[in-house]
């Protein structure tokens, strides 16, 4: 079945509409929609419910978000270049939403995030606490996010280890198991280009292109890519920002990235609550303000091409090539 959202409709409730796995939700191109919410969509892994935004242009200036999902599972948001602009957050994959795919959107001129995917814990709703909800199997790819006041992509809570200190005590945010963030283009972000937090299993951030991140130069919010817990980071191209090109905090694999013009370090690694050895191999790092790589804990660092030094214990960085003269070669590569 195909369901077309009528004029004046704000919340598309899958339960009330009796939408089934494999159904398609689309838009009427001649209707002027405002912000849209999708709630209680329940597909299956084999037959997700599809939200097809086509080429629609959402001018949602001054609104909290352009599109929001609430309590949705096994769904896809697909677009053929649909635009969302002017809201505080462009796309909010919110309240207990899980098992989703997002592709083909252009999101810009947001007050804060382009795409946000997380459910923060709250005192009055135990469903939002870590023991009661896990976000799983999410895929965000082939989107163009630019000119944001905060993060380009904000996936998962960054307080996984310490929790959030609320009036009812400390509550821990949900984990993420299975996250793929790839083939996105992110430009001109006030804070981080993209971050993946609270992912404890099967996280991947790859083949993204990030340019001009951290334009507000805000402390701890100005990296090209930040992965706070588990996640492999590979094949990304990161150019020009006020902070680290990549910051990783949990024994991650960081391979085959090209990083240019980082405002501090090309790659920075340390640990929070998850331990492990960082594997940093086959990266090309050009013209970082501080170090090409700053490793604060046990690391396997090999076969990187850098124009700046590698900081940390000397034995962690024996088999790399560091030379200012690499600049002309790396420029050809990037």
Sorted by where each begins, the domain ranges of the chain are 2-333
Which residues does 300 contact at the CB level (< 8 Å), separation at least 6? 277, 278, 279, 280, 281, 316
In the block, which residue shows the tokens 């951030």?
205
CB 153 within 8 A of CB 187: no
* Residue 325, pLDDT above cutoff 90: no
Average confidence score pLDDT of the chain? 94
185-198 tens-digit pLDDT:
999 999 999 999 99
* Residue 320, pLDDT above cutoff 70: yes
Indicate the range of 60-69, 141-150, 205-214, 264-273 predicted with least confidence.
264-273
> What is the full DSSP assignment across 151-177?
-SEEES-S-TTT-EEETTEEEPPPEEE
* Residue 78, pLDDT above cutoff 90: yes
- Read off the tokens for 78: 């697909």
Residue 262 in 3-state DSSP? coil
Class of CATH domain 2-333? mainly beta
Which pLDDT does position 323 carry in this prediction?
73
255-293 tens-digit pLDDT:
999 999 999 999 999 988 777 889 999 999 999 999 999
Q: pLDDT band at 9, cuts 50/70/90?
A: very high
Q: Tell the burial category of 99 from Cβ atoms under 10 Å away from its Cβ (0-12, 13-18, 19+).
A: buried
Q: Which helix (H) or strand (E) holds 65?
A: strand 65-70
Closest by CA to 49, choosing from 38, 58, 64, 60, is: 38
CB 201 within 8 A of CB 227: no
CB 182 within 8 A of CB 206: yes
* Residue 333, pLDDT above cutoff 60: no
């Amino acid at each position: 079945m195909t369901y077309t959202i009528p004029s004046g409709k704000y919340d598309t409730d899958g339960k009330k509409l009796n939408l089934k796995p494999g159904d398609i939700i689309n838009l009427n191109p001649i209707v002027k929609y405002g912000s849209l919410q999708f709630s209680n969509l329940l597909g299956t892994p084999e037959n997700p419910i599809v939200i097809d935004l086509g080429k629609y242009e959402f001018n949602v200036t001054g609104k909290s978000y352009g599109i929001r999902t609430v309590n949705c599972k096994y769904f896809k948001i697909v677009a053929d270049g649909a635009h969302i602009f002017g809201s505080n957050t462009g796309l909010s994959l919110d309240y207990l939403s899980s098992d989703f795919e997002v592709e083909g959107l252009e999101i810009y001129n947001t007050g804060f995030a382009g795409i946000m995917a997380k459910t923060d814990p709250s005192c009055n709703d135990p469903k939002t606490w870590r023991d009661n909800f896990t976000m799983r199997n999410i895929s965000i790819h082939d989107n163009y996010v630019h000119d944001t006041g905060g993060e380009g992509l904000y996936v998962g809570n960054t307080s996984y280890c310490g929790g959030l200190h609320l009036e009812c005590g400390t509550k821990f945010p949900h984990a993420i198991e299975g996250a793929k963030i790839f083939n996105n283009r992110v430009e001109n972000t006030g804070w981080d280009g993209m971050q993946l937090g609270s992912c404890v299993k099967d996280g991947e951030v790859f083949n993204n292109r990030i340019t001009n991140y951290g334009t507000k130069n805000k402390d701890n919010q100005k990296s090209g890519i930040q992965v706070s817990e588990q996640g492999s980071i590979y094949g990304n191209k990161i150019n020009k920002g006020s902070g680290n090109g990549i910051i990783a905090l949990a024994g991650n694999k960081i391979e085959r990235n090209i990083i240019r013009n980082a405002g501090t370090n090309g790659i920075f690694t340390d640990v929070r609550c998850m331990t492990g050895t960082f594997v940093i191999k086959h990266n090309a790092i050009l013209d970082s303000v501080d170090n090409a790589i700053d490793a604060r804990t046990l690391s396997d660092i090999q076969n990187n091409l850098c124009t700046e030094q590698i900081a940390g214990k000397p034995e962690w960085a024996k088999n790399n090539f560091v030379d200012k003269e690499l600049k002309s070669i790396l420029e050809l590569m990037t």
